[in-house]
Amino acid sequence: MNIGIIGCGYVAEFYGKTLGNYPSLKLIGAYDKNEENLKAFSSRWPGRAYTSLQQMLDDPSPAMVVNLTNPRDHFEVTRQSLDAGKHVYSEKPLAMDFGAAAELVELADQKNLLLSAAPCSLLGETAQTIWKALKEGVIGRVRLVYANFDDGMIAPQLSPWQWRNELGIPWPARDEFEVGCTYEHAGYV
């Protein structure tokens, strides 16, 4: 499947590095409103550098958009991508509230498009085995789900505002802290 990446910040480098593990995916191009991030990403990974989000959405080549924008932009970029007829895989969270996320799911369903979001750990063997056991009634009826997530304090000891990926693009520390751990990381557990 031909893909286009929207958002060439910190995490885009990791997507670019692992793309070779998925030979069925071909990067057609990328877009970022930050021209320096777009230039750095496009210099390292194949595909065209789109000059606008609309240019990518108007291009029939990418069948799927990989939304790597900042969390507050996820809803709008995903909505526009679905409206343009593109399948979407979005970084977490899908949207900043449940109602907006449900709206995206409904839109994708109406347009018969695939919509998914990170983390994809749900697709792993452990989660799929548990899901199968639940569906088949093997482990009984679920009455409570509890998860605990504690990475410990990363600031100031680890200085996350100084983290950079291999392209020199900074980790979005402010976004991570303002959006918060629940939206940014709870999906992993």
State pLDDT tens for residues 2-18. Answer: 999 999 999 999 999 99
> DSSP state, 27?
E
CA-to-CA distance for 52 and 138, rounded, in angstroms?
Answer: 50
Q: Structural domain boundaries of the chain?
A: 2-120
Q: What is the pLDDT of residue 188?
A: 67
Q: Examine the pLDDT at 49 and tell me if it is beyond 80.
A: yes
Q: Examine the pLDDT at 32 and tell me if it is beyond 90.
A: yes
pTM of the predicted protein model: 0.86
Task: Label residue 184 by pLDDT band (50, 70, 90).
Answer: confident
> Higher model confidence: residue 114 or residue 155?
114
CA 11 to chain centre: 9
CB atoms within 10 A of CB 44: 14
pLDDT 10s digits, 80-139: 999 999 999 999 999 999 999 999 999 999 999 999 998 877 778 888 898 899 999 998
Which of 106, 95, 48, 49 has its CA nearest to residue 72? 95
Question: What rounded mean pLDDT belongs to the chain?
Answer: 91
Which residues, other chains included, contact 8 with Cβ-Cβ below 8 Å and sequence gap of 6+?
30, 31, 32, 34, 37, 38, 40, 41, 42, 68, 169
> Higher model confidence: residue 148 or residue 171?
171
**Residues 189/147, Cβ–Cβ less than 8 Å:** yes
Looking only at the bridges linking them, the beta strands covering 87-90 and 26-31 are unpaired
CA-to-CA distance for 170 and 173, rounded, in angstroms?
Answer: 8
Q: In what order do the strands lie in the sheet with 48-49?
A: 48-49, 26-31, 2-6, 64-67, 87-90, 115-117
> Higher model confidence: residue 24 or residue 151?
24
CA-to-CA distance for 51 and 59, rounded, in angstroms?
Answer: 12
Q: What is the pLDDT of residue 151?
A: 63
Least confident of 1-10, 116-125, 160-169, 175-184: 175-184
Class of the CATH domain delimited by 2-120: alpha beta
- What average pLDDT does range 136-152 have in this prediction? 79
**Residues 27/21, Cβ–Cβ less than 8 Å:** no
> Higher model confidence: residue 178 or residue 133?
133
Q: Examine the pLDDT at 27 and tell me if it is beyond 90.
A: yes
Q: What is the CA radius of gyration of the chain?
A: 18
CA 181 to chain centre: 16
